[in-house]
A and B are shown apart, each in its own frame.
Chain A
Amino acid sequence: MNLKTTLRTAGVALGFVAAAALPANAADLSGKTVEWTIPFSETGGSAKWANFFAPLLSEHMAGNPNVVVKFMPGAGSTKGANWFQKQKHVDGTTMFGSSGSTQFPYLLGDPRVRYEYKDWIPVMASGTGGVAYLNPEDAKMFDGTANNLKGKTFVYGNQGATRLDLIPALAWDMLGMNVEHVMGIKGRGDGRKMFESGEATIDYQTSSSYLKNVAPMVEEGKAVPMMTWGSLAANGDIVRDPTFPDIPTFKEVCDATDGCETSGEAWDAWKAFFIAGFPAQKLAFLPGDTPQDVVNAYTAAFADVQARSDFAKISAKRLGKYPMYVGDDAQAALNGALQISPDAKAYVVGWLKDKFGVSLN
């Protein structure tokens, strides 16, 4: 037995301990096929996320069921989520994966939303972060504050005012920067290409894409990181993102910039939407009427995945160094993500109307 298998056995054993500690016994899904529906196309980040977990889940679930990822794209994930809302427990083989783009329309009261997060049972959640970066020329004016950037006009490729791009857009607005939004970009990859070819002069990417595609540009001096969205500490404060300990957070930059406040309604709204969109960005759900033993089976399996000796290594590579929550912790993460005060919501709805002319009623 070499070191690797020993570690793996230890990990599995740990997982068993964790599973045994759960109140009820877990269902066995042997011979069945778990269908994990992702409300996006095969091409997005959620697909990557689900494809990463699917084989691991199959390996660690009691009875080793087949786990397949199905895609149901449409209306920015609203279609798939509406579909999942109608699903009932049959034999425990239905699972759904949501993302920040599913959360935002729900929180903003989009008329197409016919789903209710509170009806669903979360079994796993994982987070991510984001980094905003500047072109080298404008970055010379950036001294940890946006004070010298205020006279400049920036161009940003925006996927849609009510999408996750709301986070950078609101942040730059709060800093008093003049950013022109080129709407209708098909994905953050296209936005990045616009930045590389010089059409856009400011951009943001989620962590995994930043590490892979922007970090080399930073090395070559073609891009300069400006700030991260930060990471949510246990006490609810925003602290530096452990994946990017050297890059200041938006909170720090805002604090240092004249006219930007890290308190008050704008800040509260930004923070609320950041919490909804990033620290628990992607969640795996079971239908609301799923019996406890099936829920336990999933929770135990995800706990086992997390306990793998090589998990930290492989997940850091593919998903970035972000927390993964299982079972009750996933529920807690979801609760945090859904807590948007009416004031914060009203602020963002009003801001979207003023800035982009988007009417949500």
Chain B
Amino acid sequence: MQVFIDAIPFLVDAWRLILDPTVLLYLLGGVVMGLCIGVFPGLGGIAGLSLILPFMFGLDPIYGLALMIGMVAVVPTSDTFASVLMGIPGSSASQATVLDGFPMAKKGQAARALSAAFSASLFGGLVGAFFLTFFILIARPIVLEFKSPELLMVSIFGLSMVGILAGRIALKGFVAAGLGMLVASIGEGPFNGELRMSSYDYPYLVDGLKLVIVGLGIFAIPEIVALLRKDQAIADRAPLGAGWLHGVKDWWQNKWLSMRCALIGVVVGVIPGLGGSVVDWIAYGHTVQTTKDKSKFGQGEVRGVVGPESSNNAKEGGGLVPTLLFGIPGSGSMAIFIGALSLLGSGELEVGQSMLKNNLNYTYSIVWMLALANIFGTILCIGLSGQIAKITSIRFALIAPFIFMIIAFAAFQSGQNLMDLVALFAIGLLGILMRRFDWSRPAFLIGFVLANPVENYANNANQIAGIRFRESMEAGLAYIFSPIVLTLILITVISVVVGLRQSKSIMAEGAVTSGKKRAPMVFLMAVMGFIIYALVNLASIPDYAFVDAVFPLFVASVSFVAGLILFVQMMLKPEGDAVFADRAAEAEEQEMRFKLWPTLGWFAGLLLATSLVGFILALAGFLVLFFHFRAQLKPFQTVILSVAGVVFMCGMAWLLNRDFPPGLLQHYVTLPWPLT
């Protein structure tokens, strides 16, 4: 108790620091900048912080902190726009928001979904700050309890959410998650650097695929293509008025859910090494499990928005604990934050234990500025949501090229390589097929996100446990089966059992009718083909580096068996069974104005043209042709929109100081920026 009383003067001093008008101005400046950057999918805190980093040198610490915190705090709030309005997971913080937020937008309830999300975000942020004010004082020993076995169990718990999101045919969800894990294993093995499912002839694959690309490809591209084919607006009916008050009410009705999810967010955020990748899935899973009528999930259940959004801002607060107390960044943006901290003032702020001892006032200012920035950000976002939600009533053919442009730009930023776009397209194709045959895309993404943590922690835990067991049996058992691990195992088992029982009624991606046998069979066989390739490839890893193969080999074997059972089921079951889900058989699908392949052809064309003449020239051509032929606009409108698109893209890249993918042309001729 004494600890808390001793901290009060620092808390008071922190508020004295924050309530300086100049500080508030800096904070607001950061919030506005963060909002502008955060609305773009794939560009988040890292891009924003890199932008302001040059100005940090020698800046008064509290001003610099205000600017950075303002920016970091609103990214998980502002990326909700992309998740809800376009079905694009803007960052790992908003993966789960897509599941119910986007269907709401389709039903004309975008403003409602947005304001429910923002209210939940705000509340989560405040709960997080309040909790941290006390928790940060006693956090150190608790964080140190999380060793490799505990971290492994948290990752597995996150993975167990696959059980809830697996869809109608649990086996399919299972294989989808396995597929996600295998895709995540592509590239250099983490321990001996052996190549898995890649070769030095294709250097791009050696580094593995990035979350930005997989997230955009698996969720965004299928939705964009489907919407484009319908050639209507995102919302299939007139948007419901302003709707934002409704959203705030939705949040209020679910305030206890919001509270629980916020606490989940802080607690999981505090655990170093996991960052935010599992938080929103765990929150979504919790939301589903605690909702009586589960049938609406995936079709626009507002609780599915409130839950994850409450957790993702709270997580930012939790993530400060490992960042500030241990100097271990929980995410990329936190890593830059640490770097920038040492540039401030004369370098008196240094992450580590001194943040509690000498600089507790600054630590508290950080915590509460985060909360304050959340308030500013939420007010701005709710204010804007009514207007921005109107985007859902515009004919989609007019928006799609811009969305695709931004996605392509964001994807390119992850590796600065033309292959980023190829990978985006390939994953997009997989996403389209998974959507068509009702294979759970959330399960795939969970598998992808959690494969690396599970593999690393399993390996560490295994190695250290081996050493402890050689010491003595008790030491080994005490290491593996700590109270935290046992508790987590219990929670995971309950969650899986309950989840599997419920998953049949949860269609995370809406109902799908069943069709003929052939197409679903062919897709399954293609998936099996990849799994078999993975098995063969992994088995060829030499013995001395076998540790690089163990995890993916295990995943591939299990997926292979599951796939085989699925195959047998498909052989035995009659046509029309749920196992043959195929969107192509839906009545709505038949009414689509455009066929799948020509629609995809437009994007393939952009890709091809980029490889020839570079991104900006290709984009200019793409926009003109698309607006003219596909959207059938008048020449005047075509020119205006195309110019606007190119200018916007160049402005964005100039501001963030980024380049565009070059093509063959740039190989021979030196062109001025932005054509380089």
Contacts and interface: CB of A to CB of B under 8 A. Distances in A.
Interface in A181-201: 182-186, 189-190, 192-194, 196-199
Given A42-B335, A212-B351, A48 B272 contact: no
B339 A193 contact: no
A90 interface: yes
A171 B526 CA distance: 50
A29 B193 CA distance: 42
Contacts of B144: 193, 196-198
Given A54-B54, A111-B200, A79 B350 contact: no
Q: Among the interface residues A33, A51, A186, which one has the most CB atoms of the partner chain B within 10 A?
A: A51
A229 B342 CA distance: 25
B23 interface: no
Contact of A184 (B147, B191, B200): B191
B467 interface: yes
Nearest to A59: B57
A55 B57 contact: yes
Interface in B45-80: 46, 50, 53-54, 57
Interface string A131-171: 00000000000000000000001010100111000000000
Chain A: interface secondary structure?
Answer: mixed
B645 to A, nearest CB: 24
Interface stretch (A6-14, A68-76, A243-251): A68-76
Contacts, number: 129
B510 interface: no
Interface in A53-111: 54-55, 68-70, 72-75, 79, 90, 111
Interface in B572-613: none
Interface stretch (B109-117, B326-334, B618-626): B326-334
A43 B332 contact: yes
A180 B670 CA distance: 53
A51 B53 contact: yes
B354 interface: yes
B29 interface: no
B347 interface: yes
B545 A357 contact: yes
Q: Among the interface residues A41, A52, A72, A183, which one has the most CB atoms of the partner chain B within 10 A?
A: A183
B352 A213 contact: yes
Contacts of A185: 460
A185 B464 CA distance: 13
Interface in A335-361: 356-359
Given A212-B350, A216-B353, A359-B544, A72 B335 contact: no
Given A197-B147, A317-B347, A190 B203 contact: no
B50 A42 contact: yes
Given A79-B207, A189-B327, A197-B144, A212 B352 contact: yes
Nearest to B192: A358
A47 interface: yes
A186 B456 contact: yes
A112 interface: yes
Contacts of B463: 180, 182-183
B54 A213 contact: no
A317 B328 contact: no
Contacts of A118: none
Given A54-B54, A72-B416, A317-B346, A199 B327 contact: no
A43 B352 contact: no
A193 B274 CA distance: 14
A48 B54 CA distance: 12
B192 A357 contact: yes
A68 B467 contact: no
A348 B188 CA distance: 22
B347 A74 contact: no
B506 to A, nearest CB: 34
B327 A74 contact: no
Contacts of B540: none
B467 A153 contact: yes
A182 B191 CA distance: 9
A160 B193 CA distance: 9
B415 A184 contact: no
Interface in B463-511: 463-464, 467, 470-471
B342 A48 contact: yes
Contacts of B147: 194, 197-199
Given A74-B207, A199-B147, A216-B354, A183 B332 contact: no
B145 interface: yes
Contacts of A55: 54, 57
B94 interface: no
Contacts of A72: 416
A20 interface: no
B416 to A, nearest CB: 6
B10 interface: no
B121 interface: no
A213 B340 CA distance: 17
Contact of A193 (B46, B207, B326): B326
Given A54-B54, A317-B346, A212 B336 contact: no
B459 interface: yes
B430 interface: no
Nearest to A310: B346
Nearest to B334: A43
A233 interface: no
B544 A75 contact: no
Contacts of B459: 183-184
Interface in B172-230: 188, 190-193, 200, 203, 206-207
Contacts of A47: 336, 339
Contacts of A90: 670
B148 interface: yes
Nearest to B548: A184
B460 A182 contact: yes
Nearest to A157: B460
B148 A199 contact: yes
Nearest to A42: B336
B328 A52 contact: no
B221 to A, nearest CB: 24
B347 A314 contact: yes
A43 B273 contact: no
B352 A112 contact: no
B343 interface: yes
Contacts of A209: 327
B272 A41 contact: no
Contacts of A68: 54, 657
Contact of A42 (B145, B332, B354): B332
B464 A357 contact: no
A199 B336 CA distance: 27
A318 B272 contact: no
B530 interface: no
B146 interface: yes
Interface string B303-346: 00000000000000000000000111100100110011011001
A74 B414 CA distance: 11
A351 B207 CA distance: 27
Contacts of B460: 157, 182, 184-185, 194, 199
Nearest to B148: A199
Contacts of A43: 329, 332, 335-336, 339
**Minimum-distance CB pairs A-B, first 5:** A43-B335, A357-B544, A317-B347, A197-B144, A184-B191
Given A48-B339, A209-B327, 10 more contacts: A42-B46, A43-B329, A153-B467, A162-B193, A182-B463, A184-B190, A185-B460, A199-B460, A213-B352, A213-B353
25 contacts: A42-B46, A42-B336, A55-B57, A73-B207, A161-B192, A162-B193, A182-B460, A182-B464, A183-B463, A184-B190, A186-B273, A194-B148, A197-B146, A197-B147, A199-B147, A199-B464, A212-B350, A212-B351, A213-B352, A213-B353, A216-B352, A314-B347, A317-B346, A318-B343, A359-B542
Interface of A: 33, 41-43, 47-48, 51-52, 54-55, 68-70, 72-75, 79, 90, 111-112, 153, 155, 157, 160-162, 180, 182-186, 189-190, 192-194, 196-199, 209, 212-213, 216, 314, 317-318, 356-359
